[in-house]
Structure 1
Amino acid sequence: MASSLKSFLNSAKQTISGASTPAPGTPDGNTPCKELFPKVDPAVDGEDCDHDCDSCIVSLPKGFKIDEDDKLYGYVKGWSTHVLVATGKTDWVRDVADEKGSVMEAIDKKADVKPSNGRLMLSASNIPTPSHNTSYSEPTTVLLLPAFIIIENVTPKNVNTLISEFINKGPTNTTPLGPISIPTSLPDPLPTADQLTSRPSPHRALILLCSQKTRDARCGQSAPLLRKELERHLRVCGLFRDLDDERPGGVGVYFISHVGGHKYSANLMVYRKEDAFGLDKIERGKLDGEVCPPPAKPSADEVQEGAAQCIWIARVRPEDCEGIIKFTVLQGKVVKPERQLRGGFDRQRGVFSW
């Protein structure tokens, strides 16, 4: 009886807060939780595939509490494209569009051109600026997803071009996977102040962690701790990349601004290219030792298709990090979908859920 009453009260609380109501504009036909991404299977991935790591070198602060009762899957606000603006910071004012003089402010509040291919998720990030300072008076870079394209020389004055020529012409989360046709770098080797240049991101996958403590202290506490643990497991396979490390084939780990659902901290998003490391079909349970991809070799002939998947999970703790690297980042699988999966997409299979 007590359990039923608690369940009823939690459902009512979610409904009132909107946490259990799909966001307005959520498309019909969202993929069921069990079908969006493959879940690890002990018969295929090894008997310990769903076990927590027992060798963590960090732990969350004492008293770190989050909501464990709400249903997570399918209740995020859908998005079509995602822009990460390099700021060199790990925290921002409550709404990053209120950062005075920033590219975020220009995109959200001052641009004459608006995104025409669906909702744009706008994130500030700790990606270093070209000048390695945090002043908004200097040009910066933007990482456009799912295109996996870096756009350089971005200023508040040229965000109309950024939106019209890159964001609006780029693929969306529901665009079938295929070659990208947005503009390449401009030919002028010394671009003027108004010219934008672009190039592919050298990474095969990205891990994004909300670090914005002005929205919730738990995000500011958890992000650096999780990054340390994720880095430890990425280094086993030589895949970790520092913020300025652009060697091809690695994994970038970035802090971003509020994405929603901070009461389920830590929120973590993984964007990965198609079969990012050539391991998606590997059956770890039949192999001995660590399974790592071969060293990546840069190829000028590589077809740029952008991210094939985005896997958004929450309630992430340090003991989850080993499984996230081994299975989610390296193989596109989820370990604890019932507890952690919020949504995402797979452009190759044409499935999604917000």
Structure 2
Amino acid sequence: MSGASPASGEPLVVIGEVRTALLMNLRPLPPQAVVTLLDFVPGERVMARERPVRRAVSADVLHGVDCPLTTGSGARVRGIGTLLTRAGVLDGRVVQGSTRAVLATGGERRLPWGHYLERPGVVELSGRGAPADVAHRFLTGRDPADLDPGAVSEALLGRIRSAPSLDRRTPLRARRTRLRWASVLAGDGFRGEFSLVDQELRTLRLGFAATTAATPGQLATLCEDIALHDWLLSTVTPVVDRACSGHDSVRATGELRTVVDQLLHLWLPNVGGPSRLDAVWAHLEAHPGFSRQWGTCVQRVRDHLALRALDLRAGAAGGL
């Protein structure tokens, strides 16, 4: 994150939501077209990389907020400040909208907007509410009227979907996912909890030692990586299930081909992230076991294709 942090002595509390979806285009978008798609901040350039897989990320967009928030005890506080939101596209195929904010203690009265603009990505809390308490409620029972970073992420994805460079067709059925996350840098050691709430919503609670030198931007990048890999599992698994069951075989075979051609190579967890955050991926690999589930899924694809090849050989031999 470019911008400010909480006042000295406060724990760093960051919340956010990542929405991940298949890019609405029949074929993967070429690299230059992706850069053009994400170039919506005047004067700021799109950050793009080629290795280990192509990824482009837009510059941050500032979004002002002045809205209620709820603490873990149910008390209402007011949040005033700005959110930072950005979009990313992986290999021209998967798109993400990601919004984040640092929660910080503020004063009892509202200040001129210039004060909040000087602290991009910081939402100040007025009233009796500790940032960590608000972050806990954000994950466990957010009121519909509360601060909603996910709605900001969705609005950015909507802007991308309306781009004239997209044909708005997709090669497979893919549900979008939402990862709502909160991170607190306070205390000792690491704590992490990843939960599947329903078919779309996931929550991620992170706690790091106060000495962990992670920026809000690095925490957001980590959560975007986790959201991507959760989306891959959530998207590829039902495609493999349909193909292996033989249900709607023509369509299922076409979707499986898309998965093999366009998605399997995107599985690269924790590549390029700061080593100080490695504990998060170590935790996810132990429970719920992201890579074990992915490895099982990929092996089912290989076994299915091997059986299909045997069936074709048997059919050809029988026709001789």
Instruction: State TM-score, norm by structure 1.
Output: 0.26
Q: With CA pairs under 8 Å and 6+ residues apart, which has the higher RCO, 1 or 2? A: 1
More helix by share: 2
Computing the radius of gyration from Cα coordinates, the structure with the larger value is: 2
Instruction: State TM-score, norm by structure 2.
Output: 0.28
More strand by share: 2
